[in-house]
Structure 1
């Protein structure tokens, strides 16, 4: 395959831990879960009314192959391993986000939703035998080592892992805190492999980060965990205090590279800025299981101008928030098109045997559109650099994805409320824009244009960040060389 940068969301793992469930389900027992699936799941995608006799035949086929593999595979293999592999194949064959979790993987996932766990702070996705980096978590060993979204991990401690199952690679990356690990990476546009050495540590996910730029607030949400909404409110209150009681320059919410997380937190965050109306709805296979969530009646900013930053790494829960704020004309979205994951997963525990992560619904923005495979298109296109996009693979590029259906439109509602400056923002940084440095906000072009736009919306001074740059040097071909006048002698 051709190595390309990418950001995926779904059955990703975070230093070996599955991502947080979209739609956690409490309780249940194996008998109930198994019975429900036996009664409601279609036995065939082509013929839902397939007979019990045919089902028995297919199960007999499965048993025959199971016996063949157990008896003839080159190495002895346990029955549990064979069944686990079969379960994984059955679920992952449905769509990229359904999967089976062993007891340990399920426990790891439950720990991750609390925002504290051990590892490298690295989200990875397995596809076609390759291990691709989804995103490093801010402030973690992976982030400090400069690992980038889209990198492929091909070796661990010098041992090749390309072609190995994702779980094997994940187990190798796990380890005790303060122990070292060396990763070999393949990176787009880099001719040689990149080798980085990291030290494992206990990872604390910072639910929310904030900063004050003059009187403009900035809040970054890197992932939707259990505490995101609470941390958001704390961060906003702190910004108000620092600004002397009012953010006169508006607010920027950064959802770039946010792979999502808990649906409940996405709803709470959206409700923090929308006072009434729908936030999101879900439509399941059975109409009785469909749901709708409305705003809770309180905009904590009292209508303050808001700009939201998104990119190809904004997925799932972050797309729910972006879509709600966009449909309600509550914020202006700046950046590039989001990932396009418009489905909801339910975690179904099977006591003593892990859990099933199953796609059970599609979700729809307040205007009724499904962004499945399409993504959220920003109101104002602003690229992060002049190079090719950092995330060249989105939901639509994955194999056997869920179809986009049931939505009443594929484009956001027409907006007539965009400020005049919105049409004047450049789509990409100028040639003399400084190289991006994660520790220097002044080099973040999307952020600087977002600050400029929200200040314009708040009717305060909105200087052009490009205006203070030094002149662009003329290309060498355009530089003139003085011509020496020589006297001719006859």
Structure 2
């Protein structure tokens, strides 16, 4: 069985469906009498199924235009699943294949991750070095039209189909952005997306920087190789490391556990609690600290979700890292991808996950140890929609009370003195000049210096 924990949204292949969860084998279908075995006392279900059959037949016979039976059934199944929560859905054969392609870290499209909520197509995050990122599309943007055609009333699947197309072909997106009065028109050129999930470079003062864009099959190996390369470039040891998980939407659960284990030698990383206690699980660290105790700062924001929150929560609970940035997305549920006949599949929310201290992140997210806003005028919860804002979002249940978690007492007081927003006149963020325009990164470097100074004093 291969374990995946979810990206919390629809990802374009241009817009390709990236299902989340635990990938399991089996046929994925059961006899009707078995499916309702637990509800043997509820005879109403059979009456409801009869109504469904009557509606299906009436639509087939009397709808104004001829209908496709396969599409009707798929729409009905998808409606049943999407009505449960924001992450359960049906995948037709193409969507299921797209999901499998994306977990390998390569797919075609615009490089934009979107979700549907209350009839709106919302951008969750652009992927680094893709047409969407280069065009300046931001988390929280609402796509209102595609090639001039309104998406109102359009399903997410339909919007995805319209955004698909051959490489080098163009598509125009009309976007509504919070704080901007007029619609923004952006023309993108489709291309094959090769996701470089790990990027690294040396920062000043012997500080290493590693950005992880998604949790794919290459993530853990990429982190290890990047840290080794940075250490070699700095004479064998780093002053500290900045791990950038901003706008990282998540991915494979086993990779989240492995990346956490790169810095936590032992102890719990994450646990899941399902409807049936026997289906609950726990994952422990199985590695060693590749930094050998050097300071670690993790950057998070509202686009950090799912597997990113597992890693952030584990590092925070084990006091192995300082989290800096803004509150994360709050996707604390697990989806199981169940294969169905015809090379289709369903993704079904089957559990909630919890940090080592027992916190449920669902709907709440991870609060950073040091709040640092991206821009001067951004509120503390800057970043657009979060999990709790979605229709039918799961409740936060079963965990420790987040309002009674003891504050960390192991942090140097100087960390709390770092400014929580850029000064007046700070330049706007420029992707090509992160060293001088990325305020959160600048403060992360300062945090590393403070932590390194404390470590030196303690050793003396």
The aligned counterpart of 1:188 is 178
* Alpha carbons of structure 1 residues 119 and 298: separation in structure 2 relative to 1, 3 Å: same
Q: TM-score, normalised by structure 1?
A: 0.87
Mapped partners of 1:413, 1:18: distance in 2: 39
The Cα shift of 1:157 comes to 2.1
The aligned counterpart of 1:471 is none
Question: The residue matched to 1:459 in structure 2 has which SS?
Answer: helix
- Does the 8 A contact of 1:134 with 1:149 survive in 2? yes
1:343-378 C-alpha deviation (Å, 9 max, x unpaired):
111100113151010111111100011111111111
Number of aligned positions between the proteins: 444
- Does the 8 A contact of 2:7 with 2:19 survive in 1? no
- Does the 8 A contact of 1:20 with 1:112 survive in 2? no
- Which of 401, 418, 424 aligns to 1:425? It is 418
* Alpha carbons of structure 1 residues 36 and 194: separation in structure 2 relative to 1, 3 Å: farther
- Is the aligned partner of 1:372 residue 2:362? yes
Once superposed, which parts of structure 1, at least 4 consecutive aligned residues long, lie more than 3 Å away? 30-40
- Is the aligned partner of 1:458 residue 2:452? yes
- Does the 8 A contact of 1:337 with 1:377 survive in 2? yes
- Does the 8 A contact of 1:419 with 1:457 survive in 2? yes
The aligned counterpart of 1:405 is 397
* Alpha carbons of structure 1 residues 431 and 35: separation in structure 2 relative to 1, 3 Å: farther
Moved more, 222-231 or 180-189: 180-189
* Alpha carbons of structure 1 residues 33 and 10: separation in structure 2 relative to 1, 3 Å: farther
- Does the 8 A contact of 1:136 with 1:149 survive in 2? yes
Mapped partners of 1:120, 1:92: distance in 2: 24
- Is the aligned partner of 1:262 residue 2:252? yes
Question: The residue matched to 2:362 in structure 1 has which SS?
Answer: coil
The Cα shift of 1:23 comes to 2.2
Bigger radius of gyration: 1
Moved more, 389-398 or 358-367: 389-398
- Does the 8 A contact of 1:136 with 1:143 survive in 2? yes
Question: The residue matched to 2:402 in structure 1 has which SS?
Answer: coil
- Is the aligned partner of 1:436 residue 2:435? no
- Which of 205, 230, 233 aligns to 1:239? It is 230
Mapped partners of 2:383, 2:151: distance in 1: 23
- Is the aligned partner of 1:391 residue 2:389? no
Question: The residue matched to 1:323 in structure 2 has which SS?
Answer: helix
- Which of 6, 10, 13 aligns to 2:11? It is 13
1:267-306 C-alpha deviation (Å, 9 max, x unpaired):
1100110001000001111111111011114111111111
Say what the alpha-carbon RMSD is for the aligned residues.
1.9
The aligned counterpart of 2:129 is 139
- Is the aligned partner of 1:82 residue 2:80? no
Q: TM-score, normalised by structure 2?
A: 0.92
1:209-261 C-alpha deviation (Å, 9 max, x unpaired):
1111120011111111111111111111111111121112x111111111111
Mapped partners of 1:34, 1:245: distance in 2: 62
Mapped partners of 1:229, 1:351: distance in 2: 33
Unaligned runs of 5+ in 1: 1-7, 41-48, 462-490
- Is the aligned partner of 1:414 residue 2:403? no
Unaligned runs of 5+ in 2: 1-5, 456-460
- Does the 8 A contact of 2:28 with 2:339 survive in 1? yes
The Cα shift of 1:9 comes to 5.8
The aligned counterpart of 1:159 is 149
Mapped partners of 2:421, 2:49: distance in 1: 56
- Is the aligned partner of 1:277 residue 2:277? no
Q: Give matches, 1:86-97, under 5 Å.
A: 86-97=76-87
Moved more, 174-183 or 114-123: 174-183
Moved more, 405-414 or 297-306: 405-414
- Does the 8 A contact of 2:9 with 2:113 survive in 1? no
The aligned counterpart of 1:475 is none
The Cα shift of 1:129 comes to 2.4
Question: The residue matched to 1:352 in structure 2 has which SS?
Answer: helix
Mapped partners of 2:67, 2:34: distance in 1: 31
Q: Give matches, 1:103-252, under 5 Å.
A: 103-214=93-204, 215-248=206-239, 250-252=240-242
- Does the 8 A contact of 1:16 with 1:167 survive in 2? no
Mapped partners of 2:366, 2:375: distance in 1: 20
- Does the 8 A contact of 1:153 with 1:162 survive in 2? no
Question: The residue matched to 1:184 in structure 2 has which SS?
Answer: strand
The aligned counterpart of 2:440 is 446
- Does the 8 A contact of 1:11 with 1:99 survive in 2? no
The Cα shift of 1:444 comes to 0.7
The aligned counterpart of 1:29 is 27
Mapped partners of 1:35, 1:304: distance in 2: 58
